Each structure stands twice: as structure tokens, then as C-alpha cells.
Amino acid sequence: MTAPTNGTYYTPRLGLTVHGMDDDLDAQRKNWDRLDQTMSGVLWVADDAVPDDTILFDGALVAERNSGKVWRAAKNVSGVFEKKYIKYPWCICASASTIQDFPANDIADHFWGFDTVDANLSVNATLSDLVGTFIKVPIHGLYTGTLIVRWGPNIPTNGLRRVAIAYDGVPDIVNSEVFKLPATYNANGYTICTTKFERELQAGQTIAPSVYQTSSQVTVKFQTVATVALVRAL
């Protein structure tokens, strides 16, 4: 038990008032509400709602009714409760709604991201999870994902096409897919490059495809799409 300066004692976990031998039950009225709220072991709240500090305690579990998110209340050194996620269902399927142009004779890396989120294929993710055209991850965790770039039909000569994943605007060139065009190319054919990842990311980090080619004698049409999912909150 802890003893404040006023001499009243409290239990260490829930902060319940410890009554004395001469106290009547009415003196413990504040305890009953707190016990009623926490007896199930989990506080059920509306999505994104945070229980009042008078209800929370260090280690309390909070579950959102619809989103499926579950977090543990952790009191920091300032006495403020922080969310430590135990379960956070999150997946985003994003794409570029319009076909992009890779200009002729432009041999360079370009970050072409997304402007559309498919609600039918996403979980707890909306357009608010895009920063500019980049995907922004919501919390610290282990993520997995797939990025795809599809070039449209054209008549290029020999060259390379590549997609790499850019984390916070820095391409990961080591983990990328490169496609070498043949000398004779089907004018009606498509080129598709796909790259996948599994990586620990901090809250707020961004993901985008970095597109590169050396076969740009003519303007090339292409489109980007990505699916990123949270595997485990850390």
C-alpha cells in the first residue's frame, strides 16, 4: 500500500482506498465504480476513445469495440498514461488512380506513390494513412508488404527496369527487382516488377516505390500498387 500525506492508504494497483476498522461502507463509494469498470479485466471503449485517468491504472487493458485494437495502459515517468498496443489490425491497399508518365530519355530514380486506398481490401486504414503520396505506418511494429509497378505496352530497345522500396524517401536498392528487356520486345506486352519486404518500422515512417529504368527512348506509361500489413505491434 502507499500512504499519501493525508494518512489515507491506497492499494498499489487500482488505487482503491483502504478502509479502517471504524469506516462505514458509504466511505468506500468511489471504490465500487472502479471495481465495476475493471472487474472483467478489460475496459471496452468506442474506437479511438481513451478512458479517463480516474479509471485507468498501470497495466489496464483497453479494447476498442469495432476496430479490434487492444492496448495496455502504461504510466510514464511524467505520470501520463501511454498506449502500448497488444493487438492492432491494420492493412492498406493503395494504388495510383491515374497512369503515370516516365519521360523519354529520363534515366533516374523517381518516387511515384499513391492517391487511392481500396476500402474493401484495407483494415483500419484510410486516405489519412497517406502522407503526400507515400504510405505512413501507424505504430511501431513488424510490417510486411508488396509493391508492384506495371509498365504499359511500348516499343523500347534494350534496357533495365526496376522497382525498389523507399523507406522515408531512401531507396533500398539491395532488395529490389530488376527486369532486363529483350532485344526484340512485344509491342503489346507489359512489364511487371514486384518487390516484397518484412521489416521493423517506427510509427510515422513512410513507404513508397522507387521506379527506375534505362529504356526510356520513348515516354512510358506505368502504374503503381501496394499492399502493406502490420504483422505484430512492438
For residue 119, the model assigns a pLDDT of: 95
For residue 161, the model assigns a pLDDT of: 79
Tell me if 6 is assigned to some domain. Answer: no
CATH value at residue 228: 2.60.120.40
Residue 72: pLDDT over 50: yes
Q: Which three cell numbers stand for residue 127?
A: 486516405
Mark whether 78 and 172 lie in a shared domain. Answer: no
Select from 153, 143, 179 the least CA-distant residue to 164. Answer: 179
Mark whether 64 and 99 lie in a shared domain. Answer: no
Mark whether 67 and 166 lie in a shared domain. Answer: no
Tell me if 156 is assigned to some domain. Answer: yes
Contact in structure between 124 and 228 (CB atoms under 8 Å) = no
Mark whether 96 and 205 lie in a shared domain. Answer: yes
Number of domains in the chain: 2
Strand blocks (E) in 24-152 = 42-45, 61-64, 70-75, 81-87, 91-95, 100-102, 110-111, 116-117, 130-131, 134-136, 141-151
Mean pLDDT over the full length of the chain: 83
Mark whether 56 and 104 lie in a shared domain. Answer: no
Tell me if 22 is assigned to some domain. Answer: no
Higher pLDDT, 153 or 99: 99
pTM of the model: 0.77
Mark whether 110 and 218 lie in a shared domain. Answer: yes
Q: Which residues span the domain enclosing 212?
A: 91-233
Residue 232: pLDDT over 90: yes
Mark whether 211 and 131 lie in a shared domain. Answer: yes
Tell me if 115 is assigned to some domain. Answer: yes
Mark whether 143 and 208 lie in a shared domain. Answer: yes
**Domain final residue pick, 87, 104, 119:** 87
Helices (H) and strands (E) in the chain, counts: 1, 16
Give the percent of the chain with pLDDT over 70: 79
Contact in structure between 88 and 233 (CB atoms under 8 Å) = yes
Contact in structure between 62 and 43 (CB atoms under 8 Å) = yes
Mark whether 83 and 117 lie in a shared domain. Answer: no
- Residue 35: pLDDT band with limits 50, 70, 90: confident
Q: What is the mean pLDDT of residues 81-90?
A: 94
Mark whether 111 and 199 lie in a shared domain. Answer: yes
Which residues, in sequence order, are CB contacts of 43 under 8 Å at separation 6+? Answer: 37, 51, 55, 56, 60, 61, 62, 63
Residue 185: pLDDT over 70: no
Mark whether 117 and 51 lie in a shared domain. Answer: no
**Domain final residue pick, 87, 116, 145:** 87
For residue 20, the model assigns a pLDDT of: 64
Q: What is the mean pLDDT of residues 31-37?
A: 73
The enclosing H or E element of 206 equals strand 206-213
**Domain final residue pick, 52, 87, 122:** 87
Please report, for residues 100, 166, 188, 191, 219, the alpha-carbon distance to residue 154 in angstroms, rounded to integers and kept in the order given.
14, 26, 7, 10, 9
Which residues, in sequence order, are CB contacts of 83 under 8 Å at separation 6+? Answer: 50, 62, 71, 72, 73, 74
Tell me if 163 is assigned to some domain. Answer: yes
For residue 1, the model assigns a pLDDT of: 42
Highest mean pLDDT range out of 56-65, 136-145, 182-191?
136-145
Mark whether 52 and 74 lie in a shared domain. Answer: yes
Tell me if 27 is assigned to some domain. Answer: no
For residue 144, the model assigns a pLDDT of: 96
Tell me if 8 is assigned to some domain. Answer: no
Select from 214, 222, 102, 105 the least CA-distant residue to 158. Answer: 214
Tell me if 214 is assigned to some domain. Answer: yes
